[in-house]
Amino acid sequence: MKEMFSIFGNPVSHSMSPLMHNMAFKDLKIDACYGRYRLEDGAMLREKFFALGLRGINITVPYKEDAYRACDKPDAFARKVGAVNTIVQKQGILYGYNTDAPGFLKAISEFDVKRILFLGAGGTAQSTAIILRDEGYDVTILNRSAGRLERFKEDGFETFTFETFIPDTYDLIVNMTSAGLNDDHLPAPREILDSVIPDCKACVDVIYGRETPFLKLAKSYHKPSKDGSDMLLYQGAIAFEYFCEGKFKFDEILYHMKRAFEIN
């Protein structure tokens, strides 16, 4: 019987996940189909999962914490960060994983950097900050408002708001906010960005599919930069490994997922 997968979120119409996963399923001759489901209420995630007869899902904004709560068995890293973006169902048991953070880690592996400044303190920043620290990077968090910084402080990260920020030297500056996603905002005041970008080695934006004002600014300083496309591909390929229980190699999955972008 055909196995069914889906992305859950709200909104989900923009998601590239169905294209990527369906391309890999087709090329790898797996009898499976990947759809999209706009979930109205995160508390209903588990019920909808079973009602739709799914084998696995990815979860996007704003339900990664609900997805964590919906799982029977989140893995150790998902438990550490409290957010899940991949669920696989086996014999009625929901196993949960976070593939955003390892996806991001892999996406920045090409840069020789140690000190990283995150602009933004949302869910993605939280899981990625933890994996980066586990891997030996030194991460500082700068966020517009103070509220979201509390959990970072509790986890021992150095944190700043725009008002308290003291310029320092960072190797990598990352836009982890949604500023620039559907608007033309910079993720931090121009004066702050002008105080850190000139001395950094590279800039990364997690937003993909458009050149954000942040990336435009980085380019105006002639800094090596990249958008969130690699992170998207890598988190998808790692999720696919879980969906297929390790039957395919990461590079092979990646090759087919990339084709989804080349063809469309």
Residue of 29, 64, 153, 201 with catalytic role: 64
Tell me if 18 contacts ligand NDP by CB under 6 A. Answer: no
What gap in Å lies between CA 106 and CA 221, rounded to an integer?
25
According to DSSP, the residues that pair with 74 across neighbouring strands are 96
Instruction: Compute the C-alpha angle 213/168/180, nearest 5°.
Output: 15
Least distance in angstroms from the C-beta of 29 to ligand NDP: 26
- Is 38 exposed, middle or buried (CB count within 10 Å of its CB: 0-12, 13-18, 19+)? exposed
Least distance in angstroms from the C-beta of 165 to ligand NDP: 13
What gap in Å lies between CA 182 and CA 77, rounded to an integer?
31
For residue 199, count other CB atoms closer than 10 A to its CB.
Answer: 13
The yes-or-no answer on residue 153 being catalytic is: no
Instruction: Give the length of the chain.
Output: 264
Cα four-point dihedral sign 147, 152, 156, 160? negative
Residue with nearest beta carbon to ligand NDP = 122
Tell me if 83 contacts ligand NDP by CB under 6 A. Answer: no
Contact with ligand NDP (CB under 6 A): which of 32, 71, 129, 181? 181
Tell me if 213 contacts ligand NDP by CB under 6 A. Answer: no
Tell me if 145 contacts ligand NDP by CB under 6 A. Answer: yes
CB-nearer residue toward ligand NDP: 148 or 256: 148
Least distance in angstroms from the C-beta of 228 to ligand NDP: 3
Chain residues in the site for ligand NDP (CB under 6 A):
61, 100, 120-125, 143-145, 148, 176-179, 181, 185, 187, 206-208, 228, 231-232, 235
Q: Kindly list the catalytic residues.
A: 64
